[in-house]
Amino acid sequence: MPRTFCIPERYSSDLLGYLKQRRGELDPRKKDKSPTVLPLGELTLKFARHFGFCFGVENAIEIAYRAVSENPGKRIFLLSEMIHNPHVNDDLRSRGVEFLFTTYGEECIPLEEVTANDVVIIPAFGTTREMFQKLEEKGVDIVRYNTTCPFVEKVWKRGAQLGAKGFAIIIHGKARHEETRATFSHISKNAPSLIIADTEEAHWLSRFIRGQETLSAFHEKFSGRFSESFVPERDLLRLGVVNQTTMLASETRDISRILRDALLERFGESSIQEHFSDTRDTLCYATSENQEATQALIQSGGDVSLVVGGYNSSNTSHLVELCEEHFPSYFVKGPEDLLSVDTIRHLSLDRWELSESSPWFPEPSSYRPVEVVITSGASCPDALVQAVVQRLLELRKIPFQRFVEGVERSLQQLERVHDSGVPSVPSPFLTQIGGE
């Protein structure tokens, strides 16, 4: 039975929680990636099969709020943002939690001010070995409120195992992201390590492996992104690839294939296992599930998409990238970004700046409803997704009760066609929520 966490009720949505619960009961092995479709008259909402808080995020939130409740009167610090969601981080600030560093490592409060009497929460992304050492030297308890995601730690351990076998590690990630910095720090202790951003850089490395790029060009291109122990002409011949855990899983697979093909060409099939290690087991299950569910959501069709999450959330930005290849897509952090029936505020990924688009919502036609596809990042509370839906319905003058009824009808339809044999369960919401 999946572990449950104690997180503040304000982050939950009873309605979306019920939707997820029933879909989980109907499909316990998570084989069905199809979206949940809610026809609401002139509007049809399509929700990804998987969206919102993952295991690691719920674990981190539970620990962080426990730290606040267990330490009244004490100074409580977070190394950096708990997770990449402004609503969660702002709520922690309102409860007296202070942040020592920004997402990108800039100092907010001098580390010298931290004492052994203070509480320091390690964020879900983890932190570097160097930071762990500094805190330990101050006498800070770094174990009690360490919220590092277990799947991040799994990547660190796998890197150590591969390093012990003589493999170098390619880290697919964003070099400035705190999780990537932490992963690089931990893995490079045990294995020569290099951070690359995408398949373009993987193709460059494949040319180096084939002898088509120079050593000086390597140092220029990857300056600051490889460990002191990394010797390109040696270490690019025995590789494993790991994911930052929030990058596109499909791109990590492509990077692995590109590098493996180059090594295969150089050393042949009979020796490939000595030169390339299969590291698919380091892909975060939650990231993979959310991305696969978003792909299925896209394949079901739509007219416009709303992706909800913190603007600096890596995993959310990749969901936006997937969606915007197929239809107009808007990266919003909450209901406040739906400014009016005509205007929406959103993060433009190509320019990395806030933009306002008007008009943004397709005009309903006489022959079919407008289809809005909806998903959210792993650090986004379900309550925010529901608030965005409520704001959209308000702008389109659609009663929220119709949404409640749409959830019930959709689940009943799934129950009728599903082969799991799970009995139909009456919805607790048609009577409890009413016309809110």
Q: Catalytic residue among 179, 201, 251, 371, which?
A: 179
332 CB neighbour count, 10 Å cutoff: 22
Instruction: Give the angle subtended at the CA of 25 by the CAs of 19 and 30, to the nearest 5°.
Output: 95
Q: What CA–CA distance (Å, rounded) separates 418 from 385?
A: 26
Q: What CA–CA distance (Å, rounded) separates 117 from 74?
A: 8
Q: Is residue 172 within 8 Å of 252, Cβ to Cβ? A: yes
Q: What is the DSSP string of 186-229?
A: HHHTTS-EEEE-SHHHHHHHHHHHTT-S-HHHHHHHTTTSB-TT
Q: Is residue 167 within 8 Å of 210, Cβ to Cβ? A: no
Phi, psi of 341 (to 5 degrees): -65, -20
* Cα–Cα distances in angstroms (integers) from residue 325 to residues 5, 236, 321, in the given order: 35, 33, 7
Q: Residue 138 class from Cβ within 10 Å (0-12 exposed, 13-18 middle, 19+ buried)?
A: middle
Kindly report each contact of residues 321-324 with a partner whose C-beta sits within 8 Å and lies 24 or more positions away, as own/partner. Answer: 321/248, 321/349, 322/248, 322/291, 322/294, 322/295, 322/298, 323/294, 323/298, 323/373, 323/375, 324/349
For this structure, is 179 an active site residue? yes
Instruction: Give the angle subtended at the CA of 249 by the CAs of 243 and 255, to the nearest 5°.
Output: 70
Q: What CA–CA distance (Å, rounded) separates 328 from 344?
A: 12
The secondary structure of the chain in percent helix, strand, coil, rounded to multiples of 5, reads 45, 15, 40
Of 370, 346, 366, 350, nearest in space to 358 by CA: 346
The helix/strand/coil state of 29 is: coil
Catalytic annotation, residues? 179
